[in-house]
Amino acid sequence: MALVALLYAHHFSAGADEPLAALGITGIASVDRQIRQCRRAGAERVVVMVERVTPRLAAALDRARRASPGVEVVHGGDGVRAAIREEDSVLSLDEGLVADERAIAAVAGAVGDVVLGVWMEADTRPITAERIASDRFFAGLARFPGRVVRSVAGRLGDWDMQATLVRSALGEGPHTAVEVARIPPYCPSRRREVPLQWHRAVDAASADAATTEALAAAQKGILDWPARFIHPPVENILTRLLLPTPLTPNMISVGVFLLGLAAMAAFALGHLWVGLALALVIGPLDGVDGKLARTRVEFSKWGDLEHVADKVVEYGWFAALAYYFYSIGHGGAWPLAAITVGFALAEAVQGEFFRRFTGKQIDDAGAFERRFRLVAGRRNTFFWTLLPFAAFGAWYAGFAMIAAYSALTYFVMQARFFVRLQEYGSAHSDRIAANFAKTAYTFLPDSAGNAK
């Protein structure tokens, strides 16, 4: 049974020449954004039902088809019936709906033939919603069996496809209700609570409001102090400027990487202020690619390589500084660089193991880790720490301080690694919990676990 998305582009606002689906949201057409979201939710194919193909809609659909093969444009009920198979499971989003990716995934993955996203009577509804029962309202997204979609499409006539599908599905019998207001606001990929995005774009003003909300939702949490307090305004301005351009997140990543190589060359040649200025500027620039990807829903299989490139640049900066300091007579420069890079790399590997083992980042494992992340040694904090030393001409002393900073961060996080790993193991295995209880050191408080 294949998951197929069914989207719509046939509703026009009064006096509008383009359908709601062509409205620009986060720099792309509303229907293009929905296509990307449905693909990420697991849709193998996307069927777009249109009334007529207008210029902006045609451009949006061409762009979507270039980026994502398997997008089929159909006209009317007969076109839908021909494109959908009986055994398909059909994910449907209202035209112009800007829905949260977590809600789309929840509806796509819920158990049952007919699945409806709903708000209950007592819930706050962020958009106008149709009442479908005495105690619930339709949230604009659903999943239907292919046979129901084909049946409705075959006898559609002048009826509205979206509304008729919901009514027909309700007449089929019991359905699975996904209460979207109950979806947890905590977003692991953002490392913070993110309110669910929910808009219905019907004009330029509502589309712009949806863009603003999507940009705000793209902000990550649990960051070091420069990334938390200094970078976001710069990132947001640059991301908003880039949204309507053809530049992709990967292009931004490549540009930042090349700028990082320029900083590396500056450090190696002794142009320390140039290198430091570039390193500090790269901080907010490095957040733009990810924020652009999350806002536009524009991800690629190469995106994770950006993190590898970041490490190459960061460690290359320390090697370049060591090269320069050694060339002017500081014999301990290379050992200091080895300490900095060695402990930073060990801490990164340790954190990655924890993420793979537990499904959660160690920086987000508890209150202590979240607070410590603000000041922990990372690329941003390392080079902002170097700045006051540079101001007094004590570049080498600052370089040595970074090495100590890196080592301290590693040992603090290693201690927390053991604490949190013990917690996780004890919570998920009775045998591990029993082993810790049996081998507890009686002279230490709470040595059997239960770390806070």
Residues above pLDDT 70, as percent of the chain: 98
- What value does the mean pLDDT take over residues 1-27? 89
Least confident of 292-306, 309-323, 329-343: 292-306
**Positions of CATH 3.90.550.10 in the chain:** 3-187
The CATH class of 221-437 is: mainly alpha
Q: Over 80: is that where the pLDDT of 301 sits?
A: no
Q: Over 60: is that where the pLDDT of 276 sits?
A: yes
Q: For residue 60, what are its two tokens? A: 């949006």
What angle is formed at CA 443 by the lines to CA 438 and CA 447, rounded to 5 degrees? Answer: 50
Q: Give just the sign of the alpha carbon dihedral 365, 367, 371, 372.
A: negative
* Predicted pLDDT of residue 296: 94
Higher pLDDT pick, 304 / 258? 258
**Positions of CATH 1.20.120.1760 in the chain:** 221-437
Task: Specify the pTM.
Answer: 0.87
* Predicted pLDDT of residue 447: 56
Model pLDDT for residues 222-268, shown as the tens digit of each residue = 999 999 999 999 999 999 999 999 999 999 999 999 999 999 999 99
Q: Over 50: is that where the pLDDT of 452 sits?
A: no
Least confident of 130-134, 137-141, 265-269, 334-338: 130-134
* Predicted pLDDT of residue 40: 93
**Residues 189, 220: Cα–Cα separation, whole Å:** 8
Query: Nearest to residue 280, comparing CAs of 356, 203, 385?
Result: 385
> Which one-letter amino acid corresponds to residue 412?
V
Instruction: Give the CATH fold of the 3-187 domain.
Output: Spore Coat Polysaccharide Biosynthesis Protein SpsA; Chain A (3.90.550)
CA dihedral of residues 310, 316, 317, 320 (deg, nearest 10)? -170
Residue 226 DSSP code: I
Q: What is the DSSP string of 261-326?
A: HHHHHHHHTT-HHHHHHHHHHHHHHHHHHHHHHHHHT---TTTTHHHHHHHHHHHHHHHHHHHHHH
* Predicted pLDDT of residue 450: 53
Q: Over 90: is that where the pLDDT of 160 sits?
A: no
Model pLDDT for residues 348-387, shown as the tens digit of each residue = 999 999 999 998 899 999 999 999 999 999 999 999 999 9
* Predicted pLDDT of residue 171: 84
